Amino acid sequence: MRKEPNLKDYSSTYQHFDWTNETRQLTGLPGGKGINIAYEAVDRHADGNLKEQLAIRVIRKDNSYEDLSYGQLKNLTSQFANVLLKLGLLEGERVFSLLGRVPELFLTALGTLKFKGVYCPLFSVFGPEPIFQRLSKGEGTVLVTTSQFFLKKIKDLLGRLPALKYVLLIDVEEDWDDRTLSFPKWMNQASTEFEIPPTKEEDPALLHFTSGTTGMPKGAIHVHKAVFTHYITGKYVLDFQPGDVFWCTADPGWVTGTSYGIISPLVNGVTSIVDEEEFDALRWYGILEKEKVNIWYTAPTAIRRLMRMSIVPREKFDLSQLRLVLSVGEPLNAEAVIWGEQAFGMPILDNWWQTETGGIMIANYPSMKVKPGSMGKPLPGVEVGIAEMEGDELRLLAEPEKQGHLVLKRNFPSIFRTYLHEEERYQKCFKGDWYLSGDLAKKDPDGYFWFVGRADDIIKTSGHMVGPFEVESNLMKHPAVAEAAVIGKPEPSIGELVKAFVVLKEGFEPNEERRLELIGFGRKAMGPAVAPKEIEFVENLPKTKSGKILRRLLKARELGLPEGDLSTLEKTN
Ligand code: ATP
Ligand code: MG
């Protein structure tokens, strides 16, 4: 069943887009008291005609459901805001979560926003050190977590975290001491009535640490005004329509888990499916079928894992309700887009954004022709360019197909407002009106953007500039290749040598013959200047917690750098 997409004509919408006009549905706090993300996401619907509608369905590990309607979510998030009030928190103080995909995650995030605290999620797979770094840098006052995580990862840190006043444990009935409290007990005692205080567009709302793919994670601060981007991207990119069932698989610790796992679907009044379990191909396909998911937002790392398997999901599962499959986080290889056609009967729609942009900025839209391998076109309301730096000056490149810095005009609502405690670094990201994303890209004559690589990852070999993504994508066209990561290995005669780390698909043996075959395949596809000269087979690629390939780590290993130089790697416990 095909629905007409919300964005019917990309060019004309882009041309006439006006943020104020397009976001009129967001009513703001009653009495003209400003704009608050949680109000737009929850109370606006609960007070209107979506009160009884299912907002969130959490599927527990044992397959049982926990369902929350918009009305229930309003009450529960108000209760959490009242808990913060009772604990004596002040507006602007930071509330962290260290949780999996459980109902309390939503209550913490949205209740904090109602209270006008700043919400910061952590990956629950983090070990104590990354948790400590973020909690101390972010001066967390409250942390919501489980007793198990607390005992394993937090307890021993408490002495080093003087700002952390309270830890709320979601699975204990009684307070353990004055600092370690029972989440259910405090919630039960709190009223379901909470009046959201006046909230200015520029009031801080969210603190998100970047993935740390290129270095130490940065703490990006976002404000309540970002909700305009969450709304518009939900409407035009994810194409939320009344009655839709949406599933975002992102970990709650990653910015996608908040912007699209929590905020955007709620702001748009649809139902979100939340799976407590981690990746499991058959479980996932089963959920798509059983929950009649219409829109599925996932990441290349998961898609590549699904591609490795021999299952064609739409032959084994009834996926007739699925309307859109989207991906974010890393470049989506053309192969994966095409696999989507076969697997789901539709191309996978890639989109690009960053922690810093708070929401989707470049996308493939349901009504627009997909060019596999392209990130798509700028979000209506956002100006994107390709630029070159001439000394300290930024010059936009008008000619198509020129490779340069991917830059965004800084005037969209969800642009980050600073890097926490790193104002100078923040200022350096801007040249006049333009924000430098740190990525390189090019634009084709039809206005589609193509990702080239992160500026830091570009390989300089024999006078050529090679983007790892291009090489990886070409290697992935070989039937034996499941995943590849490409780096530049210093080689005095040519600058850097292109080296590929390759994970083979099930049933393909890594041997010398295969290696030579892949080197030959690469040369034929890319030419000798760009093709990898070295190939190493590996079982797995190192990744960040959000599933991004850590080329930086592969390179450090290649150079034999000591562990100390890898201090930014997120170690699991
Ligand atoms: P850090 O900034 O700490 O190194 P990070 O950049 O990986 O970490 P995120 O904000 O989670 O942290 O990721 C944003 C980056 O991910 C983008 O700048 C880009 O390099 C990459 N990315 C995201 N989506 C896409 C996409 N669709 N195509 C290509 N690259 C993408
Ligand atoms: Mg980044």
- Please state the domain extents for the chain: 10-441, 458-571
Structure tokens at 389: 């730096």
Per-residue confidence (pLDDT) for residue 572, from 0 to 100: 35
Per-residue confidence (pLDDT) for residue 527, from 0 to 100: 87
Residue 433 has phi, psi (to 5 degrees) of: -85, -5
Please tell me if the domain spanning 10-441 has the same topology as the one spanning 458-571: no
* Beta-ladder partners of 34: 199
Tens of pLDDT, residue by residue over 5-54, are: 999 999 999 999 999 999 999 999 999 999 999 999 999 999 999 999 99
Tens of pLDDT, residue by residue over 118-154, are: 999 999 999 998 999 999 999 999 999 999 999 999 9
Tens of pLDDT, residue by residue over 86-128, are: 999 999 999 999 999 999 999 999 999 999 999 999 999 999 9
Q: Is ligand 1 within 6 A of the CB of residue 439? A: yes
Q: Average pLDDT, whole number, for the chain?
A: 94
Per-residue confidence (pLDDT) for residue 546, from 0 to 100: 83
Query: Do the strands 140-145 and 166-169 form a parallel or antiparallel pair, or are they unpaired?
Result: parallel
For ligand 1, the distance from its centroid to the CA atom of residue 438, given in whole angstroms, is 9
Q: Which region among 91-95, 493-497, 561-565 has the lowest average model confidence (pLDDT)?
A: 561-565
Per-residue confidence (pLDDT) for residue 31, from 0 to 100: 97
Question: Which ligand 1 atom is nearest residue 212's CA?
Answer: 3
- C-alpha distances (whole Å) from 202 to each of 29, 222, 382 are 15, 9, 19
Tens of pLDDT, residue by residue over 345-373, are: 999 999 999 999 999 999 999 999 999 99
Using alpha carbons, select from 476, 474, 479 the residue that is nearest to residue 310: 479
Pocket-testing residue among 439, 457, 458, ligand 1, by greatest number of atoms within 8 A of Cβ: 439
Q: How far apart are CA 360 and CA 432, in angstroms?
A: 22
Residue 181 has phi, psi (to 5 degrees) of: -115, 165
Ligand sitting nearest the alpha carbon of 356: 1
Superfamily of domain 458-571: ANL, C-terminal domain (3.30.300.30)
Tens of pLDDT, residue by residue over 416-425, are: 999 999 999 9
Q: Is ligand 1 within 6 A of the CB of residue 454? A: yes
Question: Which ligand 1 atom is nearest residue 209's CA?
Answer: 3
Quick count: other Cβ atoms within 10 Å of Cβ 291?
18
Q: Does the structure show a pLDDT above 90 at 219?
A: yes
Quick count: other Cβ atoms within 10 Å of Cβ 174?
9
Question: Which ligand 1 atom is nearest residue 356's CA?
Answer: 10
Q: Is ligand 1 within 6 A of the CB of residue 546? A: yes
For ligand 1, the distance from its centroid to the CA atom of residue 172, given in whole angstroms, is 37
Question: Which ligand 1 atom is nearest residue 213's CA?
Answer: 4
Q: Is ligand 1 within 6 A of the CB of residue 313? A: no
Q: Is ligand 1 within 6 A of the CB of residue 264? A: no
Fold of 10-441: Rossmann fold (3.40.50)
Per-residue confidence (pLDDT) for residue 1, from 0 to 100: 52
What's the number of CA atoms in the CB half-sphere (13 Å) around residue 284? 18
Per-residue confidence (pLDDT) for residue 89, from 0 to 100: 98
Model confidence at 564, pLDDT cuts 50, 70, 90, reads very low
